[in-house]
Chains A and B, each alone.
Chain A
Amino acid sequence: MKFAYFPGCSLHSTAKEYDASTKFVCGRLGIELVEIPNWVCCGATPIHRTNALASIALPAKNLLWAQTENLPVAAPCSECFSRLKLANLEVAENEELKKNVSEVLGETYEGNVDIYHLPQVIIEKIGLKEIEKKVAKKLSGLKIASYYGCLLTRPPKVATFDRIEDPQFLDNLVLSLGAESVNWAYKTECCGATFSLSKKELVLKLTNDILQNAYDEKADCIMVACPLCHSNLDLRQKEVEKKYKVKYNLPVFYFTQLIGLSMGADIRGLGLKRHMVSAEKLLSSKGLI
């Protein structure tokens, strides 16, 4: 199975471990990822707040290559995925927008590229049964809170996975890896993503609420599928603990790292040493490393 891969900016900087573990897991599952040549930023939130046309044209610029090569696109970041897919949908629905976007790009973008979020590629296209076959070491005894965040499940016309308000696909993956899935209330709450640099106090509050709930529900760790969720929950966790005078010490994993771990990859190769909240103590206490 071949996909045009759109890693997005974070996977080349703050989330290199997500990139590395993605490539490892996809390699094992027979998914071929071809990185889109010279891809540019999807525009993320700041562009759709400031320039409506550019917010569609930037993702479309990246999709032009996939259109020519006739390949579906796989994006590991929720923000990139959402912007790419939304651009595709809006161009497909709106003739005038298609005309404007094509004029800005200097090439015609048709709006007919299939775009998938990475969990969708792995869980829906490959399937949990195939993953279970590749599990060499079950993650027994690990209690995982699956965190979906905002753009992995919303808005429904873009994120067409299972249930909007109480999604299950990551929880099902957790069970396939032999771990325990934590039932918690904050799985689709927003971490504050884009305000991390501009309005930090809001992010710390939202992140604290999420960490608190996972902690109260006795999770050992949190599993995410977005580099922005990871950066708020992991990078800012110490700051949250200091501000709210609490102690969570909850490691945050990318879902690809946990699949990789169950397939027997070593923790350095999966980039587990790059996290701010160390996962080693937890993993060795469960006999997983």
Chain B
Amino acid sequence: MKWIILKDTDKKITGEVEKISGQVVANCYQCGKCTAGCPLAYAMDLGPTRFIRILQLGVTEEIKKSNTPWFCISCETCTTRCPREIDIAKLMDATRIVSQNGEFKPRELRIAIFDKIFTKLVEVFGRPPEFLLGALNNALTFNLFKDVLLFPKMFIKGKLPISFSRVNSKAVQQIFEKSKSR
């Protein structure tokens, strides 16, 4: 069993997570159904149930160092099954957004970098070119040879078009610019 010392608790992160997600963490009565059904629980340090508990208590250090929100795959199993109707996947999203807003460093850098690259490509091209997504992701995560054996095969099968057309990019840039200021 893991012990958490209840000193230095602070509800700042919890408050922001609740504001962004529109959820109330106090509604959780810790039944554990979310963790029981979570396909990624095996890889998480806390799992959704315990992660919500530290959000409730405001154990800032534990929130910052947990991989749980980063490993959430947004499959919505927890949200679907929660007897208290908490949108748990949205809580995980909101925690990552709070981190991204500069509150704390992302615990899983590779996932955060991929999300950033994807977002940037949507912003620039309107539709992210898969080829660039793979190449940039490999370069920026220092993993140049990842999937290189798959690329030629995908190319031959016509699954990896190398094109860089921009679609509606002005409108998309406007969406990102205006939504940043909120």
Q: Do A and B bind each other?
A: yes
Looking at A15, A51, A103, the one whose CB has the most chain B CB atoms below 10 A away is A51
A-B contact pairs, 8 of them (CB 8 A): A12-B127, A14-B154, A40-B127, A61-B171, A100-B182, A164-B80, A190-B77, A276-B157
CB distance from B178 to the nearest CB of A (A): 4
Kindly state the separation between the CA atoms of A144 and B180 in the bound complex, as whole angstroms: 46
Q: Does A23 contact B (CB under 8 A)?
A: no
Kindly state the separation between the CA atoms of A155 and B90 in the bound complex, as whole angstroms: 12
Q: Does A57 contact B (CB under 8 A)?
A: yes
Q: Does B30 contact A (CB under 8 A)?
A: no
Interchain CB contact under 8 A, B146 and A200: yes
* Interface window among B1-9, B48-56, B108-116: B108-116
Q: Does B134 contact A (CB under 8 A)?
A: yes
Interchain CB contact under 8 A, A202 and B133: no
Interchain CB contact under 8 A, A58 and B175: yes
**A46-B115, A190-B39 known; A195-B175 Cβ under 8 A:** no
CB distance from A49 to the nearest CB of B (A): 5
Contact with A along B57-96 (1 / 0, CB 8 A): 0000000000000010111110110000001000001101
Kindly state the separation between the CA atoms of A129 and B119 in the bound complex, as whole angstroms: 43
A residues near B (Cβ < 8 Å) are 9, 12-16, 38-41, 43-54, 57-58, 61, 100, 103-106, 150-151, 154-156, 164, 189-190, 192-195, 197-200, 202, 206, 235, 239, 273-276
Looking at B80, B116, B168, the one whose CB has the most chain A CB atoms below 10 A away is B80
Q: What 10 A-B pairs have minimum CB-CB distances, sorted nearest first? A: A198-B114, A190-B75, A150-B75, A154-B76, A53-B179, A46-B118, A46-B115, A40-B126, A104-B178, A54-B179
**A50-B115, A276-B153 known; A154-B79 Cβ under 8 A:** yes
Q: Which of B73, B111, B126, B172 contacts A193 (CB 8 A)?
A: B73
CB distance from B67 to the nearest CB of A (A): 10
Chain B residue with the shortest CB-CB distance to A209: B39
Chain A residue with the shortest CB-CB distance to B96: A49
CB distance from B130 to the nearest CB of A (A): 5
Chain A residue with the shortest CB-CB distance to B92: A49
Looking at A39, A47, A151, A276, the one whose CB has the most chain B CB atoms below 10 A away is A47
Kindly state the separation between the CA atoms of A41 and B115 in the bound complex, as whole angstroms: 14
Interchain CB contact under 8 A, B175 and A45: no
Chain A residue with the shortest CB-CB distance to B118: A46
Residues of A within 8 A of B108 (CB): 199
Kindly state the separation between the CA atoms of A239 and B171 in the bound complex, as whole angstroms: 39
Residues of B within 8 A of A154 (CB): 75-77, 79-80
Residues of B within 8 A of A200 (CB): 146
Kindly state the separation between the CA atoms of A9 and B178 in the bound complex, as whole angstroms: 24
CB distance from B40 to the nearest CB of A (A): 7
Interchain CB contact under 8 A, A50 and B96: yes
CB distance from A33 to the nearest CB of B (A): 18
Contact with A along B151-169 (1 / 0, CB 8 A): 0011001111100000110
Interchain CB contact under 8 A, B93 and A49: yes
Interchain CB contact under 8 A, A105 and B175: yes
Looking at B127, B158, B174, B175, the one whose CB has the most chain A CB atoms below 10 A away is B175
Kindly state the separation between the CA atoms of A235 and B39 in the bound complex, as whole angstroms: 21
**A40-B167, A61-B172, A202-B43 known; A155-B80 Cβ under 8 A:** yes
Chain B residue with the shortest CB-CB distance to A103: B178
Residues of A within 8 A of B114 (CB): 46, 197-198
Kindly state the separation between the CA atoms of A105 and B180 in the bound complex, as whole angstroms: 13
Residues of B within 8 A of A14 (CB): 130, 154, 159-160
